[in-house]
Amino acid sequence: MEPNLRLAHLYPKLMNIYGDRGNILCLERRCRERGIGFEVTELGLGEKLKPKEYDLIFIGGAQDREQRRVAEDLVKVKGKALREAVDKGGTLLAVCGGYQLMGRYYRTAEGEELPGVGAFGLWTEHPGPAAKRFIGNVVVEWCGQTLVGFENHGGRTHLDEGVEPLGRVVSGFGNNGEDGGEGAVSRNAYGTYLHGALLPKNPRFADHLIETALRRRHKGLELTPLDDRVEGMAHAAAVRLTTRRGMISR
């Protein structure tokens, strides 16, 4: 049987800031070039998530107002299913605002506490409107390689004891600008502040997600290599620009 990747894209109309579309385009292209089918289901407010129907779940970033509506919907409609999916080893990628909402709670700049899904052992607090936003290019060390992206967040994320970050900050701020961690991992679920878009410029990470997602139904599946020369150049340029300028911006 030809493998196919079934993606659930949560709140595409609300959580679509920072080029999140690029992540979806990237997953689709990297599947199709290998003869892997790709189906995306968009789930908006009020629509139930049935984890068994998907191999990979994606949630992107948003502005504050949209984030509030999504937080409400997560609690009422999709939260339980998401927690179960992550607990059972389902593959998930949550970026920026989506990442914050996967934790236990997000306290906004105004002090309002938005309840999170609790799929990750972490919490996020915005220190208030006067606090510095963490904005800029980021390079993160991940599994002996680098991830590149751009971060733009006011909230500071803290991981529970024992929860692993996605990577170590080489240049940039990461979760909270203090402990050097960026993002979080919970079984096969990944949260990160990196956008840019994240996946096109980090093809190894994109493939890691695809492989992890597909292996639950297709044991031992191996992805064939693709021509990633342009990706490599874009990645290298981002590392070069970030580490040269990152020193100044921190």
Compare residues 89 and 128 and give the one whose CB is closer to another protein: 128
Q: Return d(Cα 56, Cα 189) in angstroms, integer.
A: 9
Residue 234 sits in the site that holds another protein (CB under 8 A): yes
Among 26, 36, 85, 86, binds another protein (CB under 8 A): 26
Cα 32 to its chain centre, rounded Å, is: 22
Please provide residue 128's backbone torsions phi and psi, each rounded to the nearest 5 degrees: 120, 160
31 is catalytic: no
Q: Return d(Cα 183, Cα 105) in angstroms, integer.
A: 15
Residue 4 sits in the site that holds another protein (CB under 8 A): no
Among 3, 19, 121, 180, binds another protein (CB under 8 A): 19
Among 103, 116, 200, 246, binds another protein (CB under 8 A): 200
Residue 131 sits in the site that holds another protein (CB under 8 A): no
C-alpha neighbours within 13 Å on the C-beta side of residue 165: 20
Active-site choice (9, 26, 31, 96)? 96
Distances, alpha carbon 139 to alpha carbons 18, 43, 90, 174, 241, in Å? 17, 31, 27, 9, 10
143 is catalytic: no
Q: Shortest distance, CB of residue 140 to another protein, whole angstroms?
A: 16
Question: In this structure, are residues 182 and 170 in contact, taking their beta carbons and an 8 Å threshold?
Answer: no
Q: Which range of residues in 16-24, 85-93, 114-122, 213-221 is near another protein by CB under 8 A? A: 16-24
Residue 22, C-beta contacts closer than 8 angstroms, at least 6 positions apart: 196, 197, 198, 199, 200
Interface residues with another protein (CB under 8 A)? 13, 16-22, 25-26, 29, 63-66, 69, 133, 135-137, 150, 152, 195-197, 200-201, 230-231, 233-234, 236-238, 241
Catalytic residues: 96, 195
